[in-house]
Amino acid sequence: MGSRIHSTAVIDPQATIGCDVSIGPFCIIEAGAVIGDGCRLAAHVVVKKGTTLGVCNEVDEYVVLGGRPQHIARHTCWGQVRIGARNMIREHVTVHGAMSADSVTVIGDENLLMVNAHVAHDCQVGNHTIITNNVMLAGHVTVGDYAYLSGGVGVHQFCRIGSHCMVGGQAHINKDVPPYVTVDGVSTRVVGLNLIGLRRRGFTAEQILELKQAYRIIYRQGLTWEQVLQALSTTFSSGPAADFHTFLSTGRRGFVFERRTPVEATIPLPQQAAEPTLTVIAAEERKVG
C-alpha cells in the first residue's frame, strides 16, 4: 500500500519513508531520518537527522524526535535516536539525540509516552513502559521493561528505573529504583512490591512469594550491604527474584530507601475537652548500603 503524505509536509529527499506511512500536515522529516512501515505521523511532527522509527509507530502532534541534546556544550554533531516498533508517542513529547556521534538514545517496543514527556540524550528505555504526562528523564537514564512512571516524575541523570516497578506521581528520583517495587510519589520512598502490576502481568504466586522474600532481605532484616548481596545470590539463583541481585550489585548511585512508620510513633486517644494530639518520635532512618 502506498504512503499518504500531506502536501504541506517537508521531507528531505535523503530521508527513508517505508510503505503504508501516513505523514500529516506541516511535518518535517530531515535527511537521514528513517520512518518504518505503517507509521502514522500527525500534524507538525519533526523527525530530525539520525532518527530511526521502526514499524507501526503512532506519533501525535508537535512531537520532536532526535533534537539536539540540552547541554551547555554547543553541539553541531550529535548522536542518534532509535525507536522500536508499535510505540504510541503523544502530543509534545521530546526525545533528544545522544551526546556523541557514535552513541544512541534508545526507546524499545510497545511503549506509551504521554503528553509532554521528555526523554533526554543517551537514555535507554525498554519495552512496554508507560511514561505518563510531564515525566522528565535526564541524560543517561535507564528505564526497564514494564516500568510505570506516573505524572510529573523527575529522574536525575544516570539513574536506573528497574523493570516492573511503579513510580508514583511527582516523585523526584535521584537514586536507582530496584525492580518490582512501588515508590510513593510524596516521599519518594519504596512502599512495597508492585503487587497489582505483577499479578496483571501473570507472575505466579510462587514467583511473588520469592519476590517478597527477597524484598525482606533487602529492606527488613537489617543486614549490611555485603550481607544483602550474599543472601540474594545464594537464595535466588533463578527466576524474577534473581533480578534483585543483578540490579543491586551493579548500582553506582545508591538505591531508594524504604518508607516505614517508625515503631515509636504513637497516636494517643483524644481527651475529653482537649484537642487531639499526635506525638511522633521519629526513629533514625535505617539506610541500605
| Residue positions annotated with a catalytic role | 121-122, 139
Gap between the Cα atoms of 285 and 152, Å rounded: 26
- List Cβ neighbours of 222 (8 Å cut-off, separation of 6 or more): 286
Gap between the Cα atoms of 77 and 141, Å rounded: 21
Contact 214, 196 (CB under 8 A): no
- Whether the CA torsion 257, 172, 247, 200 is positive or negative: it is positive
Alpha helices, H only, 71-224: 195-200, 205-219
Gap between the Cα atoms of 250 and 140, Å rounded: 15
Contact 51, 65 (CB under 8 A): yes
Gap between the Cα atoms of 265 and 277, Å rounded: 12
The closest alpha carbon to 147, from 124, 163, 170, 171, belongs to: 163
- Given the DSSP bridges, would you call strands 181-184 and 189-193 parallel, antiparallel or unpaired? antiparallel
Give, in order, the Cα–Cα distances in Å from 261 to each of 271, 280, 283.
24, 10, 9
The closest alpha carbon to 213, from 189, 186, 234, 188, belongs to: 234
